[in-house]
Structure 1
Amino acid sequence: MAPDSLAAALTATAGAVLAAVLLSATWDHGAGTRRAALRTVTTALCLATALAAAGIWINRQVDTVTTWSALLGRDTSTAATADPAPAGATGGRIVTFTATGTASGLTLAVHAYLPAAYDRQPTARFPVIEALHGYPGSPASWLNRLAAAHHLDQEIVAGRMAPTVVLFPPQTPHALLDTECTNLAHGPQAETFLTVDVPTAAETHLRVRTDRAGWGLIGYSAGGYCAANLALRHPERYATAASLSGYADPGITIGDGTEHTLNDDAWRLRHLPNPAVALYLSAGRADRKAHRDADTLTHLARPPLCVTTVYVDGGGHSMSVWEAAEDPAFDWLSGWLGRPVG
Structure 2
Amino acid sequence: MLSLTGLPLRVLAVLLAAGAFAATMWLWPRLAGRGWKSWLGRLGAFFGTQLAVLAAIGLVANAYFGFYTTWSDLLGTDGKQGTVVDHEPGGKAVSVTGQQKVYSSQGSAQDRSGVIEKVRIRGASSGLIGTPAYVYLPPQYFQPEYAHSRFPMALVLSGYPGSAEKLISLLEYPDSTLKAIQASQLPPTVLVMMRPTLVGNRDTECMDVPNGPQVETFFTEDLPRAMAGSYRILDRPDARAAIGDSTGGYCALKFALRKPESYRSAISLSGYYTAPVDPTTGDLFGGRPRLKQENDLLWRLRTQPGVPVSLLLATSRNEHNYAATQKMVAAFKAPTEVSTITLDSGGHNFHTWTREIPPALEWLGRRLAPPQPAG
TM-score where L is the length of structure 2: 0.80
| Residues 84 and 310 of structure 1: CA distance in aligned 2, closer, same or farther (over 3 Å) | closer
Deviation of residue 326 (structure 1)? 0.5
* Cα distance, 1:160 vs structure 2: 1.1
Pick closer, same or farther for the CA change 1:159–1:78 going to 2, 3 Å. closer
Aligned residues: 340
Residues 247/88 of structure 1: CA separation in 2 closer, same or farther (3 Å cut):
closer
Matched letter for residue 52 of structure 1: A
Change beyond 3 A, Cα 1:21–1:272: same
> What displacement does 1:223 show?
1.2
1:301: how far off?
0.8
Amino acid of the structure 2 residue aligned with 1:97: V
Equivalent position amino acid for 2:251 in 1? C
- 2:307 is matched with 275
Say whether 1:139 aligns with 2:161: no
CA apart distance, 1:230: 1.2
Contact kept in structure 2, 1:138 and 1:175, CA below 8 Å: no
Query: Counterpart of 1:315 in 2: which secondary structure?
Result: coil
CA distance in 2, matches of 1:33, 1:21: 23
Aligned to 1:82: 99
Find the counterpart in structure 2 of residue 310 from structure 1. 341
- Report if aligned partners of 1:249, 1:259 keep a CA contact under 8 Å in 2: no
Task: Quote the Cα distance in structure 2 between the aligned partners of 1:104 and 1:16.
Answer: 46
Q: How does 1:40-189 map to 2 (within 5 A)?
A: 46=49, 48-66=51-69, 79-82=96-99, 87=109, 89-107=111-129, 108-120=131-143, 121-173=146-198, 176-185=201-210, 187-189=212-214
Q: Is the 8 A contact 1:129 1:216 kept in 2?
A: yes
1:20 aligns with 2:21: yes
Alignment partner for residue 284 of structure 2, among 247, 254, 277? 254
- Structure 2 distance, partners of 1:54, 1:78, is 37
Q: Secondary structure at the match of 1:80?
A: strand
State the alpha-carbon separation in 1 of the partners of residues 223 and 192 from structure 2.
9
Compared with structure 1, are the counterparts of its residues 46 and 187 closer, same or farther at alpha carbon in structure 2 (3 Å cutoff)?
A: farther
Say whether 1:319 aligns with 2:319: no
Alignment match, 1:296:
327
How many angstroms apart in 1 are the aligned matches of 2:368 and 2:352? 24
Superposition deviation, residue 260 in structure 1: 4.0
Partner AA of 1:141 in structure 2 = K
Q: Report deviation, 1:190.
A: 2.1
In the alignment, the residues of structure 2 paired with residue 39 and residue 78 of structure 1 have an alpha-carbon distance, to the nearest angstrom, of: 56
Post-superposition offset of 1:123: 2.1
Alignment of structure 1 residues 201-280 onto 2, 5 Å: 201-252=226-277, 254-256=284-286, 257=289, 260-280=292-312
Q: For the structure 1 residues 166 and 258, does the alpha-carbon distance in structure 2 shift closer, same or farther, using more than 3 Å as the test?
A: farther
Distance change >3 Å, CA 324–CA 163, structure 1 → 2:
same
Whether the 8 Å contact between 1:186 and 1:255 is mirrored in structure 2 is no
Whichever residue aligns with residue 185 of structure 1, its letter is P
Cα deviation per residue 1:223-262 (whole Å; 9 max; x = unaligned)? 1111111110100111111111111212225233357411
> Which residue identity lines up with residue 56 of structure 2 in the other structure?
A
Q: Post-superposition shift, 1:21?
A: 2.7
What runs of 5+ residues in structure 1 fail to find an aligned partner?
none
Structure 2 unmatched ranges of 5 or more: 81-93, 103-107, 278-282
Q: CA deviation at 1:129?
A: 0.6
Say yes or no: does 1:331 pair with 2:353: no
Cα distance, 1:135–1:232 mapped onto 2, change above 3 Å: same
Q: Which amino acid aligns with 2:316?
A: G
Aligned partners of 1:55, 1:191: CA distance in 2, in Å? Answer: 32
**SS of corresponding position for 1:336:** coil
Query: Structure 1's 70 and 166: CA in aligned 2 closer, same or farther, altered over 3 A?
Result: same
Q: How far 1:146 sits from its partner (Å)?
A: 0.7
String of CA shifts for 1:193-215, please: whole Å, max 9, x gaps.
Answer: 21122223212322111111111
> Contact (CA 8 Å) 1:127, 1:215: kept in 2 or not?
yes
Q: Please, which moves more after superposition, 250-259 or 238-247? A: 250-259
Give the superposed CA RMSD. Answer: 3.1
| TM-score, scaled to structure 1 | 0.87
1:270: Cα distance to partner?
2.0
- Letter in structure 2 aligned against 1:254: L
> Which amino acid is the alignment partner of residue 298 of structure 2?
A
Amino acid at match of 1:13: V
Q: Aligned partners of 1:48 and 1:173: how far apart in 2?
A: 33
Three-state SS of the structure 2 residue aligned to 1:254 is: coil
